[in-house]
Amino acid sequence: MNRQSLQRKAPETVSGYRFDRSHLRVDQREPGISAFMRIRNGAEFLELTIRSHIEFFDEIVAVHNNCTDETPQILTRLQEEFGPQKLRVIHYADEVFPPGSSGHIRTDPHSPHSLVNYYNFALASTRYRFATKLDDDHLAIRETTRRATDSLRSGETDPKEMLCFSGLNLFHRPDGSLAVLKRDPISGSGDIGFFRVTPNTYFSKDRRFERFRSGGARRRFCGFLYWHLKYLKSDMGFGNYRLDKNPTSRYAKRHAAMHQAPPECLDLQALAHYCSPTLLHRLKQLVSSKQALIGQRNATIPRAFPDAAVAQAVERTAGRQFRSALDSPQTEHACSPTIRAAG
């Protein structure tokens, strides 16, 4: 056993945690930006996500739960590379009920088994004044991510604003080429972004999932900051919903819909046209702040993605080394009627 192995810290583990807003330690926070992750079986794109984002944050807090894949080992290896101050890894040991499950519906949000409590623990574990949620299947779009984080650090951003951002949902065509999934083309409609941590920024319970409370911050769209890789996963992101144990979950309907017909794909030009507002959408934007934000988001698509093809856009915005990691042959799960059952 070498010296590095002897000096390796035991994994940080927490059990029986119950969130209280005082745990956010608002007065003790340092200038900077934290990203917090909640991970269950995220090994497919976890390393790509962390490597593409880590330069933009002062820390990434990666909290994993009930993993049966290589997630813990990947996190340990990356923590050794980047250091425990830059990448903090925590094992949240209690079983957590997934969104859409009967367990989530009936569980008190302060229970260690609650998805809400789990999310709040991850947020409370961060150290910096600004924070954002980062999923294990986000590939950073470098220019817009840097622009947003630079704005926060320079003080240009109003601390009473939440800088909301979105991503495009990538999909593999039958020939393995990259496209955008028409059924669900965009991830993020005001629910994810950078926010100043206050006693009033935390997660609360919705019967369907967790809901973020922004503490009254005004939501402002700041751009497309990531490529969403959920639908490139071998289970297309449905595995963590444990649909075999929760057949009535709202996500079971989405999973079933993917079997009904080969999913349609869009290139970037078609996406811009598909997201063009109708007269009804324009009217909704006049009376709904959420619809107004979605309108602003959709209007930026032609400027953000002028490329001829999705693969070209990914390479331009994320880098060739990351784009090549998404290359795929004709995969069974891409447009196959035999997408394996999630469980």
pLDDT in tens, 333-342: 433 333 333 3
Task: Give the residue-averaged pLDDT of 190-214.
Answer: 94
Residue 340 lies in a domain: no
Residue 343 lies in a domain: no
Structure confidence at residue 339 (pLDDT): 32
Residue 341 lies in a domain: no
pLDDT at residue 332 above 90? Answer: no
CB 25 within 8 A of CB 50: no
Domain that holds residue 229: 3-335
Residue 42 lies in a domain: yes
Residue 278 lies in a domain: yes
Worst-scoring range by mean pLDDT, 49-58, 68-77, 317-326?
A: 317-326
Measured at the CA of 141, the angle between CA 140 and CA 146, to 5 degrees, comes to 95
* DSSP-based three-state secondary structure for 184: coil
CB 116 within 8 A of CB 26: no
Tell me the chain's radius of gyration from C-alpha atoms.
20
Q: Record the tokens describing residue 242, joined without a space.
A: 């444990």
Structure confidence at residue 333 (pLDDT): 41
Angle subtended by helix axes 289-299 and 279-287, to nearest 10: 130
pLDDT at residue 275 above 90? Answer: yes
Number of folded domains that form the chain: 1
Distance CA 203, CA 166 (A): 19
pLDDT at residue 169 above 90? Answer: yes
Residue 342 lies in a domain: no
CB 60 within 8 A of CB 35: yes
Distance CA 75, CA 81 (A): 10
Residue 97 lies in a domain: yes
CB 94 within 8 A of CB 112: yes
pLDDT band at 246 (very low <50, low <70, confident <90, very high): confident
Give the residue from 75, 78, 47, 52 showing the smallest Cα distance to 63: 75
- Percent of the chain at pLDDT > 90 equals 78
Structure confidence at residue 315 (pLDDT): 97
